[in-house]
Amino acid sequence: MLNKLGIERIDLMKIDIEGYVFKAFPGMVESLKKTKWLIVELWKQDSPLIHVLKRLGFRPIDYYNANFLFYIQHYK
């Protein structure tokens, strides 16, 4: 949908899909590459995603309960 609308950059994305982040993640990668700030709800079963986000260039900034704030430095 973002490509169809011509959206090339996302300043802030919030993902809260009630424990389905791990399942939905493969379809989000291209959108995440366009994202500067990310707020995502991650539970224990989703913890491997933190490493994947780091490989994409995201750095964890802070968290509260299960909500994590990430920032990417090489924002396009």
pLDDT for res 69: 95
Q: How confident is the model at residue 68 (pLDDT cuts 50, 70, 90)?
A: very high
Instruction: Give the CATH fold of the 2-72 domain.
Output: Translation Initiation Factor IF3 (3.30.110)
Pairwise CA distance, residues 20 & 48, whole Å: 13
Higher pLDDT among residues 61 and 43, named by residue: 61
Average pLDDT over residues 8-13: 90
pLDDT for res 22: 73
- Using the predicted structure, report yes or no on whether residue 76 has a pLDDT greater than 80: no
Instruction: Tell me, rounded to whole angstroms, the distance of Cα 40 from its chain centroid.
Output: 6
Pairwise CA distance, residues 32 & 45, whole Å: 20
CA distance readout (Å), 25 to 17, 32, 48: 11, 9, 11
